[in-house]
Amino acid sequence: MVAAVQEGRVEARQHGAMEYSRAPTDLDAVRMYRLGRVREELKKRDYAAIILYDQLNTRYATDATDMQIWCSHNESRYVYVPTEGPVILFEYGGLTHLSEDLPGVDEVRKSTSWYYFAAGPRCQEMVAKWAVEMADLVSQHGGGNKRVAIDRCGPLGVQELAKHGISIHDGFELMEVAREIKSPGEIVLMRHAIDVCEQGLEAMREALHPGITENALWAKLHEKNIALGGEWIETRLLSSGPRTNPWFRESSMRVIENGDMMSFDTDLVGPYGYCCDMSRSWVCGDGRASDEQRRLHAAAVEEIKHNTALLKPGVTFREVSEKAWKIPDEFYENRYSSVIHGIGLCDEYPAIKHFGDFEAKGYDGLIQPGMTLCVESYIGTSGGHEGVKLEEQVLITEDGNEKLTNYPLQLELI
């Protein structure tokens, strides 16, 4: 029965793959909603503008993309979003064709790169040029307000802007809050990314046989994601056998053996830039899971289900933390770093900490409709042989939550 259901799901998805060249929702409506969220947060904080270098933030505000991984460590493109006035994309090489037809981009200019790789010993000259242009925009469109948010900026940039009387504020705080509540169109795009990810899981499941390396198995997820319009995967969190305990080892050339537990966390950035962050743990080979593997897996399932049930509008982060599943002592040292975290274009605000960690590094807030969250579990005995990693992605609805990820958790279905 289960095999027939899975086979039908795969056939339907393969047929639907032909439709992936068409956007599943009105992209311009999503783009303008997101830009509106940024400007709403600018107004709340009385900022004249925000300068965005982080590639996920520039993507959120404009949907303009260009070499996103490369540009994430080479500050060669940025966006100026004023509270009032034109949105200006400073593009690598001034290439205007990269953002054609994007409704939130009013103007494209050539970027001024002042990081050392690009400018070398001329850094000071280039950053001075950059700061003059930024200050001129603030003067033109800020109405006398010189309070500007920035997400990423080296010390040279901060120093130069200060010379122009610009007051610098934290752009990451603003953008995390702006990205917190998803529009209906964003949820459609997220479901699309999850579907692509789950097709990748099916490819991994089919390839999981004794003798395959961790890297070769992980490549199956990458291949399916790229083939169906996805973009990249943020981590390499896949391990097997004794490498699953403790967690956070990345995939390697280890050969997966019969009977090994294999655990992974997708962190997949799919089509249109939306993330599917789900985790599963499977047993390699034709035999049944061992009693210990089943015990660990059952505890992880219990943690996921208990904590998911807590999520509804009006509940505070502290309440979720306090009422979260009580992790048994044997697993507590290896607990995951958070109970729940936000998800959108990547892992996002909030990060709800375990209650034992709350006073040291937790913070409060409110669960709201339109938030998308990931519920985490890692179960592995301290000093134990193997561990289980599970994670589900959920949408907060008006009266509770809806699970967005659908791939089975149960060991007996794998």
184-207 vs 214-227: helix crossing angle, rounded to 10: 140
Confidence (pTM): 0.93
By three-state DSSP, how is residue 39 classified? Answer: helix
H or E, element range at 9: helix 2-16
Q: How far is the C-alpha of 210 from the C-alpha of 227, rounded, in Å? A: 26
Residue-wise pLDDT tens for the chain (414 aa)? 334 434 544 454 554 455 667 899 999 999 999 999 999 999 999 999 999 999 999 999 999 999 999 989 989 999 999 999 999 999 998 889 988 999 999 999 999 999 999 999 999 999 999 999 999 999 999 999 999 999 999 999 999 999 999 999 999 999 999 999 999 999 999 999 999 999 999 999 999 999 999 999 999 999 999 999 999 999 999 999 999 999 999 999 999 999 999 999 999 999 999 999 999 999 999 888 999 999 999 999 999 999 999 999 999 999 999 999 999 999 999 999 999 999 999 999 999 999 999 999 999 999 999 999 999 999 999 999 999 999 999 999 999 999 999 999 877 654
Residue matched to tokens 């690009």: 118
Q: Which residues contact 381 (CB under 8 A, 6 or more apart)?
A: 245, 296, 330, 331, 334, 387
Q: Which residues contact 123 (CB under 8 A, 6 or more apart)?
A: 114, 115, 116, 156
Q: What would the two tokens of residue 219 be? A: 């490549």
Q: What would the two tokens of residue 55 be? A: 């590639």
Q: Are 263 and 254 in contact (CB under 8 A)?
A: no
Q: How far is the C-alpha of 393 from the C-alpha of 180, rounded, in Å? A: 15
Q: How many CB atoms lie within 10 A of CB 322?
A: 11
Q: How far is the C-alpha of 256 from the C-alpha of 239, rounded, in Å? A: 9
Domain 27-178 class in CATH = alpha beta
- The reported pLDDT for the residue numbered 287 is 80
Q: Distance from CA of residue 87 to its chain's centroid?
A: 25
Q: Could you tell me the CA-to-CA distances from 253 to 204, 205, 256, 402 in Å, in that order?
A: 16, 18, 9, 37
Closest CA to 153 of 133, 178, 170, 136: 170
* Tens digit of each residue's pLDDT (9 = 90 or more) over 154-200: 999 999 999 999 999 999 999 999 999 999 999 999 999 999 999 99
Task: Identify the CATH assignment for 184-413 out of 3.60.15.10, 3.90.230.10, 3.90.245.10, 3.40.228.10.
Answer: 3.90.230.10
Residue 21 is classified by DSSP as T
H or E, element range at 402: strand 401-403
Q: How far is the C-alpha of 387 from the C-alpha of 380, rounded, in Å? A: 4
Closest CA to 365 of 286, 407, 311, 404: 311
- The reported pLDDT for the residue numbered 94 is 84
**φ, ψ for residue 295 (rounded to 5)?**
-65, -45
H or E, element range at 380: none
Q: What are the extents of the domains in the chain? A: 27-178, 184-413
- The reported pLDDT for the residue numbered 414 is 47
Q: How far is the C-alpha of 54 from the C-alpha of 275, rounded, in Å? A: 16
Residue matched to tokens 């985790």: 279
Q: How many CB atoms lie within 10 A of CB 367?
A: 21
